[in-house]
Structure 1
Amino acid sequence: MRVLLVEDDPLLGDGINAGLKLADYAVDWVRDGEAANLALLDHEYDACVLDLGLPRRDGLSVLKELRGRGSRLPVLILTARDTSTDKISGLDAGADDYLTKPFDLPEMLARLRAIVRRATGEARPTLEHAGVVLEPAAKTVTFKGQPATLSAREFALLHDLMRYKNQIRTRAQLEESLYAWGEETGSNTVEVYIHHLRKKFGADFIKTIRGLGYQLGDTP
């Protein structure tokens, strides 16, 4: 999954960025509100971790404009503003959750997983399809009850397809989900990972929709 991190504090931002990457997120990190707004306009993200006290443009303004465009992107606010009024303002502006500084990274990751899960209408913490069970928190996959070994990219691609299993995902959407800024993308990278997943879970597990993209196959 690809996450936009908006945090101007270099020390805190570096720690969050590292923690997100260790959890296998593709992360784009910006340090002011204007840069955040441009990133949200130009790229597709699975979630946004947003500080409020930002240079050039306040985080609340970024959030209001995002919601004004009709975006349903899951947004987790991180801020030192811990009064009830600040929390209410953030939630009423469209935030999905609110975490005050200082905070524990595992809690932030759990809250991030929760808002992403709610955004796709998935109440359960695990994703299941055709004998494949994916647990985002534990980063594990089983197939017909047996552990399956996946690379980080394979896991990320499988996670994306299972989150949107009733939708066709284009190659561009899958690449956006897998890669952050500056990460090199091969011309057939997505196809290679699709091939690997089919070898592990069966040729019919992922359908190619000609001219459109990919979608999970029908459940037997």
Structure 2
Amino acid sequence: MHGKILLLDSKPPVRGATARHLTAAGFTVLTARTDAQARSLLDTNLFDAVLIDHPFGRPGMEEGLRFARDLRLQDSHVPILLMTALPLDEVRHSAWSSGITKLLPKPQLMPVLILHLSALIPAAANEDQPQPIPMR
């Protein structure tokens, strides 16, 4: 197992396809369509990384960045990877100030996304000793 991922994406086809590819690569993936669903999953699960589609939620909304900021206020060190179709220059400052660990443009080839996630998760480098990072 490569780690447990929380995937936040409001678009069902994209969320489903991404989850299938990550699962096939050895990750355990739980998905959320809304900020509220993601928070509920955090109450009952430990995650090794969070993958957020930006903009997440309704068009024009900053739900993904707000979710990342709230997560960071809990002193969480879990890696957060943000993927965006918006120009990176527009998103970079707000992403970093929200506590995003890694920012990637969309679309992204799945093997590249898998490499980035694997690099962010300490347990992926040491399969014998997985160490999920508590979210709360």
TM-score by length of 2: 0.82
Q: Which residue matches 2:84?
A: 79
Q: Summarize the Cα distance change of 1:126–1:62 in structure 2 as closer, same or farther, 3 Å threshold.
A: closer
In the alignment, does 2:100 pair up with 1:95? yes
- TM-fit CA distance, 1:54: 2.5
Q: Which residue matches 2:66?
A: 61
Structure 1 residue runs of 4+, over 3 Å off? none
Decide which structure has the larger Cα Rg and report it: 1
Unmatched runs of 5 consecutive residues or more in structure 1? 128-158, 165-172, 174-220
- The CA RMSD measured in Å over matched residues stands at 2.1
Q: Determine the C-alpha separation between the residues in 1 that align with 2:88 and 2:4.
A: 30
Q: Determine the C-alpha separation between the residues in 1 that align with 2:114 and 2:17.
A: 13
Please show how residues 54-203 of structure 1 align to structure 2 within 5 Å.
Answer: 54-55=56-57, 58-117=63-122, 126-127=125-126, 159=127, 161-164=128-131
The aligned amino acid for 1:46 is D
Q: Determine the C-alpha separation between the residues in 2 that align with 1:22 and 1:36.
A: 22
TM-score by length of 1: 0.53
Q: Which residue matches 1:140?
A: none
- TM-fit CA distance, 1:37: 2.1
- TM-fit CA distance, 1:65: 0.3
- TM-fit CA distance, 1:41: 3.1
Q: Determine the C-alpha separation between the residues in 2 that align with 1:65 and 1:27.
A: 21
The aligned amino acid for 1:83 is L
Aligned length: 127
- TM-fit CA distance, 1:78: 1.4
Pick one of 31, 40, 52 that aligns with 1:29: 31
Which stretch of structure 1 is more off in the superposition, 28-37 or 58-67? 28-37
Q: What secondary structure is seen at the aligned counterpart in 2 of 1:48?
A: strand
Unmatched runs of 5 consecutive residues or more in structure 2? none
The aligned amino acid for 1:98 is L
2:118–2:125: 8 Å Cα contact kept in structure 1?
no
1:8-54 Cα offsets, whole Å, 9 max, x none, are 11221121111111011111111112211222233111111111322
Q: Which residue matches 2:51?
A: 49
Using CA pairs under 8 Å that are at least 6 residues apart, name the structure with larger relative contact order, 1 or 2. 2
1:70-120 Cα offsets, whole Å, 9 max, x none, are 111111111222231312211221111011111101111111011113xx7
Q: Which residue matches 1:137?
A: none
Percentage of pairs with the same residue: 24
